[in-house]
Homo-oligomer: A and B are copies of this chain.
Amino acid sequence: MRDRSIPEATVGRLPVYLRALVEMAEHGTSTTSSEGLAEAAGVNSAKVRKDLSYLGSYGTRGVGYDVAYLIHQVRRELGLTQDWPVLIAGAGNLGRALVNYKGFGERGFRIVAMVDVEDGKVGERIGPVEIQDLSLLDEIVRSTEVAIGVICTPAAAAQEVADRMVAAGIRSILNFAPAVITVPEQVSVRKVDLSLELQILAYYEQRKAALEAVKDGLATLDLAGATAP
């Protein structure tokens, strides 16, 4: 435990642990075991122990973990002891939903600005933020010290918006547009693709249906019907 860099897979689970821990704290639980946390987070206990061991030795053998202390450590590690100003590009349905999403504010992500290109939208106020013109992005980023940009534009506009964000100095981008965006390597990008998730579900759903057909004797074993020569 002396390498400061935590495996990606672990970083991806820390927010899940954090949520589970916060919930425990709210219910008055002050101590938990790797087993208990595992259950609450939907993983197994070995994973929890290994993941937490990357942060340090914050547990007590024979007892477990102090919930409040662990919350603090996970928060610190994730960089959630500070607020992060966020800018949203694209004021469509999704962009609007995100502005109103309570979960962001609760976790220290403050949406400080929203930009769009449509004249009809610019000037409109959504909750506490006013939609501004995309051309002001650079200036907004500088004056509000935005660290994270969220892209909620149509796919066709995503790359241009990303380029502008990068030019303005943003180094972390969350991309909801169904498009691959290319950025310099020092910029982090994460993508959330709504229909991609449905497509993955469709794959497994189809597979289950096919499997049942076989069990019921309604079909032979050539599952998806592929027929290579």
Contact = CB atoms under 8 A, between A and B. Distances in A.
A40 interface: yes
Contact of A84 (B80, B96, B182, B202): B202
Interface residues of A, number: 76
A113 interface: no
B98 A96 contact: no
A208 B222 CA distance: 50
A202 B148 contact: yes
* A190, A192, A198: residue with the most chain B Cβ atoms closer than 10 Å: A198
A210 B193 CA distance: 30
Given A97-B96, A148-B205, A42 B4 contact: no
B171 A208 contact: yes
Interface in A152-211: 171-174, 178-180, 182, 186, 188, 190, 192-208
A76 interface: yes
A97 to B, nearest CB: 4
Contact of A107 (B20, B97, B199): B199
A207 B3 CA distance: 13
A190 B180 contact: no
Contact of A198 (B41, B84, B100, B206): B84
A19 B155 CA distance: 11
A123 interface: no
Interface of A: 1, 4-6, 11-12, 14-16, 18-20, 40-42, 55-57, 76-80, 82, 84, 86, 92-94, 96-98, 100-101, 103-104, 106-109, 147-148, 171-174, 178-180, 182, 186, 188, 190, 192-208, 222-226, 228
